[in-house]
Structures are given as structure tokens and as C-alpha cells.
Amino acid sequence: MAETKKIRWLPLESNPEVMNKYMYNLGASSDWAFFDVFGFDEDLLGMIPKPVAAVMLLFPISDKSETVSIGTEEEVEGLYYMKQTVGNACGTVGIIHALANNGNQVSLDESKALSAFLKRTASMNKDERAVALGEDESIGSAHESSAQEGQTEAPDINTKVNLHFVAFVHHNGGLYEMDGRKSAPTRHGNTTPGTLLEDSMKVAKQFMERDPGELSFTITALAANS
């Protein structure tokens, strides 16, 4: 994970309970929640409530993941995209990408940290947004608090972590992977709001097939919390 000014946060656990508490603290509506996705079968995907606004994939960074590309990077007008320059902040960047690109579905409390951050950075470019995140004490504090609440003990802040979050979102008929380490969003073909989960899972399967020796993949879906 790229770093600027040696800023590092504790890594966030891919745990719906932790992720939900975190995004609610940031101001996201409790009408939405992250749910574990347990597999590719139709019955397992059918357990996820609809609609689905975004999908989060946690995958291991390896030689294969770094050298075998999937999808096509492209600049996209209308997508909120930011670089990640804070070490171990990929969980927060993924959640920001998931929420910022679903403002028509997931409402944000205007008095809370995320709404303020999105307003402040709306006219910034992707690199300026990355710097702004590193300087945002409210989001940084909320991230640190959530990172310490997982089921596993949080590692030392200086420990190198080889797991990375990306978010998948729908935009104008396209399926986009939002990865703050890349120069732009990555398009993975077409999708619709109704097929976002299934189409994202097809891409997640490609991630796994690219690196079959790795087992540390987890997937969560941001979906209606009925």
C-alpha cells in the first residue's frame, strides 16, 4: 500500500459487525448494512438482501495479483474516486468508495464526519482527496477505534499487511472496481443495480482463480438492512 508522509493506520477487519458500526459512526444510514457473502452458489447469493449497493472484496496481495491485471482502468466522469496514500487505510477507502457512489440510495447524516469529508473533497482530484483523508482527524479516529474491535487482535501499526480491500459499484451501466492503489477505476464489463452482486462475484472469482494458492479472500455486500 502506497504511503505519503509515513502515515499509517491499523488495518480494518473484514467483519460486517465492525464495518457496520464504523460506517454508522461516520454517519451512514442504518437502513443499510454489510453482510457476509459465503459463496458463489445461487442459494448463498440469495441470502443477501436486495437491493445491493456495493460489494467489498478483501484479497491477498501477491506476485500474481500485482502482475496479472483484470479489467481495464479508465477515467470515469461522475464516479467519486480517491487514491490511497495512508498505509492500511484500504478498508476506509473502500467504504468511502461504496458510500460516496451510492448517495442516491444510502443517506448520510450531514452532521457526521463522512458527509463533511465528501463535501470538502467534492471538487478535489483523486490525489488531493488522499491527502485530505490522511489529515482528517475525525475519520482517522473512527477508523482506529473500529480497527481495534475485530475478532482478531489488531497487529502493530508498523506491521506490513498483505491484505487489501477494493469496492465494486455500479455506474451508468458499468461495473467498476474502486482500488485506491490504482490510477483510475477499473471497468469489468456491464452490470445493473439488480445484478451488481452476481456480476461482482464473477470478478471476485477471477481474483481467486488468478491466485489459487491463496486462501485469504473475504467478500461482503452493502445491502438493504430490512
User: All 3 cell numbers of residue 25?
Assistant: 459512526
Total domains in the fold of the chain: 1
| CA distances to 54, 201, 203 from 221, in Å | 6, 10, 14
Task: Give CA–CA dist 204/217, Å, rounded.
Answer: 9
The reply to whether 9 falls in a domain is: no
Residue 186 is part of which domain span? 16-224
pLDDT in tens, 148-192: 875 555 555 555 668 999 999 999 999 999 999 999 999 999 999
> What positions carry a catalytic annotation?
90, 164
Task: Confirm whether 78 is domain-assigned.
Answer: yes
Q: Would you say residue 1 lies in a domain?
A: no
What residues contact residue 195 under an 8 Å CB cut-off, 6+ apart?
none
The DSSP call for residue 172 is T
Q: Supply 61's cell numbers.
A: 496481495
Supply the pTM of this predicted model: 0.92
- Contact of 56 with 13, CB cutoff 8 Å: no
Indicate whether 209 pLDDT > 50: yes
Residue 215 lies in a domain: yes
Task: Give the pLDDT of residue 6.
Answer: 64
Confidence of residue 1 (pLDDT cuts 50, 70, 90): very low
Calculate mean pLDDT across residues 18-35: 97
Q: Give tens-digit pLDDT for 74-132.
A: 999 999 999 999 999 999 999 999 999 999 999 999 999 999 999 999 999 999 999 99
Q: Would you call 222 helix, strand, or coil by DSSP? A: strand
Is residue 3 domain-resident?
no
Burial of 138 (0-12, 13-18, 19+ CB in 10 A): middle
Kindly state whether residue 10 falls inside one of the protein's structural domains.
no
Q: Is residue 192 part of a domain?
A: yes
Q: Which segment of 10-19, 110-119, 173-182, 195-204 scores lowest on mean pLDDT?
A: 10-19
For residue 144, pLDDT over 60 is answered with: yes
**Position 6 in a domain:** no
Lookup: cell for 210? 488468478
- Distance between CA 208 and CA 171 in Å, rounded? 24
Exposed/middle/buried for residue 192 (C-beta within 10 Å: 0-12, 13-18, 19+): exposed
pLDDT computed for residue 136 by the predictor:
96
Q: What is the CATH number of the domain that holds 43?
A: 3.40.532.10
